[in-house]
Structure 1
């Protein structure tokens, strides 16, 4: 297996620059996820690693090799796309082995590699079926198997679960995580779904506007976001981000109520944003907020509420805690669970 290194990688379309000097190291055997909103450059960056997009500047290395100007077939990568792209007239086995057949590999070798891949992906009972006789999840496993038989140094996944329903997405997440454990290959995975990123990744790369906002382990990004964008993007439901300002004795967050949160305010910043995870907010006695809606999901509930003219809040409660719309509640916070950001720069204040 090989790692991937991007050094000051740039992508331009004419005068428009869409990738801005990306620096990144993916270690051998690591599962790295590119995540970010639509248009942030994550798929473009993946296609540059694959060789499907030309690199305008910078260097891409796979292992010790500089592959920046190599054709895709010379890079030692295999890519799994959002669309399955299976040949409808071929069986599962033929689809999985087609690339090896076109490259002139012996039939015995093809059968051996297809059998190994089908065993890993639990496809042994489907090898003689055509794609039309498979479910969406089974078709995606065939597409992954087609990549496995090539024996690549690096696997690249471009939103491979986007076409699946919610139940199959969960099932395939488990399958892909198991696949990574079993074969131990380097994998780079693109998604806009931060839940997928949190559950699959060893390392997450958060992208915005063609730039890397933060890189780290999933829980590190969740617990220690560097800026407002990462704080609001990582976590489901999203962090409550509320205007605030320093005052005598602490921080005042108008959306929470008149009380001052006791803490040591930053002395050099006057316009702040205070961040609170939904589970960090507590419901108490009082009537400072009006409930707009409760999402009761069984083991957990999400209560949406607001004060007049202030940003809405989402509060997470355990169990079947239901507050009816129109109910008045008060909201309390633990100062130790508050994140503070500079409103002007977006940077985290620690």
Structure 2
């Protein structure tokens, strides 16, 4: 197994910098996910590791080798793209073994490697089929199999599930997680879907505008975000953010009424504004005299999400797990678990600790 390191990596397209001096260590056998909104630089960063984009500055190491200026074919990586890119006239077995055949590997070696990849991916019954006879999930497994037979040091996935429907995405997430567990290879995976990041990753790298916002395990980022961006990006539904005012060394939240709450963090002086973050499961609603109105209830079976409008124009999402029915348009009283609240600086958006 082989780790990957990036040292002050920069990427510019002409005068425009899109990756700004990134330092990152990915350990041997680690499943690392790059996540962030569209345009944050995650795919560009992955393509730089692959050698498909030239590094403007900085160094990239795969294991002990400096691969910054090495041809993609010599880097020991295999990449799985969003599009399957299968040859329609070839069978599954021929598609998976094509790269080895082009490199002059013996037929018995190709058969052995294809058989092992098909076993891992449960494709044994499809080896003689052509891509048009496969489902989207099966085609993506063939594309992954084509990467496996190469025996790479590092697997790179560029939003491989984006073209699949919701049910297939769940199935393929499980397949990829199982694949990583079985072969133990270093994997770098790009997605804009934070649910994929949370369910697959050993380590998540949250990117914004070509910079790393935070690196950590899924639960570290969820429970202990460094800033408002990470807090809002990680978690589904996303965290609620409300205006707060420092009052007597505590924080008052005008939208929710009630007295100021203890924070346990260092606050700015009285009268200063802060941002209060509350996850949907840390809020509760009940009918009562209030200026807050239940706008929409989204029922998902075992859980429901209430969407509320406050007089200040803020939108709240509340997770509920009871059978109580509150009609849409009903005024509701909102209570919350103050011990679970997070607080952020208004200007820097950094977490107050």
Q: TM-score, normalised by structure 1?
A: 0.98
Deviations 1:209-235 (A, max 9, x none): 000000000000000000010000000
Contact 1:296 1:322 in 2 (8 A): no
Describe the shift of the 1:263–1:67 C-alpha distance in structure 2 as closer, same or farther (beyond 3 A): closer
Describe the shift of the 1:61–1:190 C-alpha distance in structure 2 as closer, same or farther (beyond 3 A): same
CA distance in 2, matches of 1:103, 1:15: 39
Q: Does 1:347 align with 2:350?
A: yes
Residues 297-316 of structure 1 correspond to what in structure 2 (within 5 A)?
Answer: 297-316=300-319
Where does structure 2 lack aligned partners over 5 or more consecutive residues? none
Aligned to 2:220: 220
Give 3-state SS (helix, strand or coil) of 1:235's partner: coil
Give 3-state SS (helix, strand or coil) of 1:198's partner: helix
Aligned to 1:111: 111
Aligned to 2:11: 11
Deviations 1:287-307 (A, max 9, x none): 221100001111111001122
Aligned to 1:231: 231
CA distance in 1, matches of 2:265, 2:30: 40
Q: Does 1:281 align with 2:319?
A: no
CA distance in 1, matches of 2:324, 2:78: 48
Residues 91-170 of structure 1 correspond to what in structure 2 (within 5 A)?
Answer: 91-170=91-170
Contact 1:302 1:317 in 2 (8 A): yes
Contact 1:33 1:190 in 2 (8 A): yes
CA distance in 2, matches of 1:17, 1:64: 28
Aligned to 1:337: 340
264-273 vs 274-283, greater mean Cα deviation: 264-273
Aligned to 1:295: 298
Residues 71-86 of structure 1 correspond to what in structure 2 (within 5 A)?
Answer: 71-86=71-86
Give 3-state SS (helix, strand or coil) of 1:255's partner: helix
Aligned to 1:190: 190
Give 3-state SS (helix, strand or coil) of 2:122's partner: coil
CA distance in 2, matches of 1:24, 1:264: 32
Give 3-state SS (helix, strand or coil) of 2:288's partner: strand
Give 3-state SS (helix, strand or coil) of 2:155's partner: strand
CA distance in 2, matches of 1:260, 1:202: 38
Give 3-state SS (helix, strand or coil) of 1:260's partner: coil
CA distance in 1, matches of 2:299, 2:281: 15
Could you tell me how far 1:332 is from its partner in structure 2? 0.9
- Structure 1 residue ranges (4+ consecutive) displaced by more than 6 angstroms after TM superposition: none
Could you tell me how far 1:44 is from its partner in structure 2? 0.1
Could you tell me how far 1:334 is from its partner in structure 2? 1.6
Contact 2:4 2:60 in 1 (8 A): yes
Contact 1:251 1:265 in 2 (8 A): no
Could you tell me how far 1:257 is from its partner in structure 2? 2.2
Deviations 1:85-114 (A, max 9, x none): 000000000000000000000000000000
Contact 1:296 1:321 in 2 (8 A): no
Describe the shift of the 1:114–1:267 C-alpha distance in structure 2 as closer, same or farther (beyond 3 A): closer
Describe the shift of the 1:266–1:123 C-alpha distance in structure 2 as closer, same or farther (beyond 3 A): same
Contact 1:301 1:321 in 2 (8 A): no
CA distance in 2, matches of 1:320, 1:183: 44
CA distance in 2, matches of 1:137, 1:173: 10
Could you tell me how far 1:259 is from its partner in structure 2? 3.3
CA distance in 2, matches of 1:105, 1:187: 25
